[in-house]
Amino acid sequence: MIVQILLLVLGLGLLIKGADWMVSGATALAKKHQISDLAIGLTIVAFGTSAPELVVNTFAAVQNHHDLVFGNVIGSNNVNLFFILGISGLITPLVVQSSTVWKEIPLSLFAVVLLYFLANDILSPGVNFLSRIDGLILLALFAGFLFYVYKQLKTDKQESLPDQKHFTNVKIWIFIIIGMAGLVIGGRLVVTNAVEMATALGVSEKIVGLTIVALGTSLPELATSVVAALKKNNDIAVGNIIGSNIFNIFLILGVSSVLTPVIYHPVFNTDLWLLGGGTLILFIAMFTGQRKKLDRWEAGALLLIYVVYTVYIILKEL
């Protein structure tokens, strides 16, 4: 068991460092081609923080660990919404833009509702699963989201990100290649050892996915949002979370189910309801107290909900 724990920690470390290196290299490459800072932040950085989830889910889907596929995405989204946004909002009250309130938060809620209908096969009762057609629908919506981001770049006032260090072409590709290698190796270690630990402890893959793996793969989002909150950069702190949650459902579950149909167990419905309810709470919070602002007490409430939820699912498993 000690060996599995150490390998799991090593895998998570490789995921986080791999994502960091890949983003650094890709950002430098984009700058060399004169792609705007805002475009880099909304695309490359957002993808980079979701890369660990993508790699873990790819391995989990191919190896038929279906509960890990859903547990990782739903768990990561709940960690993002309740835990990371809660901590960030406690550091500093988070003021958000109108587009986030009226477009991105509702889109995030729509993604949860759509996933619920697709996974539960509401329109065609039978075995609950995400089919390849469902995956293509999710990927098509992801493409639509990227188009929306592109349109936003042309209308929003661009805000510069901190200047990156100058990288030579060789250094750029070294960072990208080593980063991708770290993601692949780390993802394999996380999936393999998480499953072995669950088997040894008699704990379901669902719980491992919703807790250990979800928290581990969400560390890039945690680091990004906390640093952004400390620097009073509210747009990045909130946008990182909402954007990552949209990425996770549309892109990651889309890719996973296109690779192989993923069986969905209705026990995840409670976790999906919590995610949908939390997203709705965040939307309502934009109109209570100061408008378009997540106050500290609201952030504290989100964090408290996550703690209670985590204790509940663990006790339920025992």
Q: Are 26 and 164 in contact (CB under 8 A)?
A: no
With a cut of 60, say whether residue 57 has pLDDT above it: yes
pLDDT band at 43 (very low <50, low <70, confident <90, very high): low
Model's pTM, two decimal places? 0.81
Between 300 and 198, the higher pLDDT residue: 300
Q: Which helix (H) or strand (E) holds 95?
A: strand 94-95
What is the sign of the dihedral through the CA atoms of 157, 161, 166 and 170?
negative
Residue-wise DSSP of 158-179: P-PPPPPPP--HHHHHHHHHHH
Highest mean pLDDT among 149-153, 237-241, 249-253, 283-287: 249-253
Cα gap 75→71, rounded to integer Å: 5
The pLDDT mean for the chain works out to 82
pLDDT confidence tier of residue 137, bands split at 50, 70 and 90: very high
**Which residues lie below 8 Å from residue 61, measured CB to CB, with a gap of 6+?**
69, 256, 257, 259, 260, 262
Q: Where are the domains of the chain?
A: 2-317
Q: What is the pLDDT of residues 180-226, one digit of tens each?
A: 788 778 877 887 787 788 778 777 878 888 887 888 777 777 777 77
How far are the Cα atoms of 55, 200, 209, 214, 257 from residue 252, in angstroms, in the given order?
Answer: 9, 28, 15, 13, 9
Distance CA 74, CA 268 (A): 8
Predicted local confidence at residue 301, as pLDDT: 94
Structure tokens at 303: 């964090």
Query: Which pLDDT score is estimated for 171?
Result: 87
What's the chain's Rg over C-alpha atoms?
A: 19
Which pLDDT does position 132 carry in this prediction?
Answer: 93
Alpha carbon distance 99, 257 (integer Å): 30
Cα gap 189→219, rounded to integer Å: 16
Share of the chain above pLDDT 90, in %: 29
Q: Are 300 and 86 in contact (CB under 8 A)?
A: yes
Q: What is the pLDDT of residue 36?
A: 57
Residue 160's pLDDT band, with cuts at 50, 70 and 90, is very low
Residues near 69 by beta carbon (within 8 Å), at least 6 away in sequence: 57, 60, 61, 209, 253, 256, 262
Nearby residues of 112 by Cβ (< 8 Å), 6 or more positions away: 77, 249, 272, 275, 276, 279
Higher-confidence position of 6 and 43: 6
Q: Which of 47-56, 140-149, 160-169 has the highest mean pLDDT?
A: 140-149
Query: Pick the residue with more confidence: 224 or 13?
Result: 13
User: In this predicted structure, which of 150-159, 198-207, 277-286 has the lowest mean pLDDT?
Assistant: 150-159
Tens-place pLDDT, residues 97-119? 777 778 888 999 999 999 999 99
**Is residue 27 scored above 90 in pLDDT?**
no
Most confident among 18-22, 107-111, 221-225, 309-313 (mean pLDDT): 107-111
Distance between CA 90 and CA 299 in Å, rounded? 6
User: Percent of the chain scored above 70 by pLDDT?
Assistant: 87
Most confident of 27-36, 78-87, 170-179: 78-87
Helices (H), 202-295: 205-208, 214-217, 219-230, 234-247, 253-259, 269-285
Domain 2-317: CATH superfamily is NCX, central ion-binding region (1.20.1420.30)
Separation CA 160–CA 272 (nearest Å)? 36
Mean pLDDT for the stretch of residues 271-295: 87
Q: Give the residue, 182 or 297, on which the prediction is more confident.
A: 297
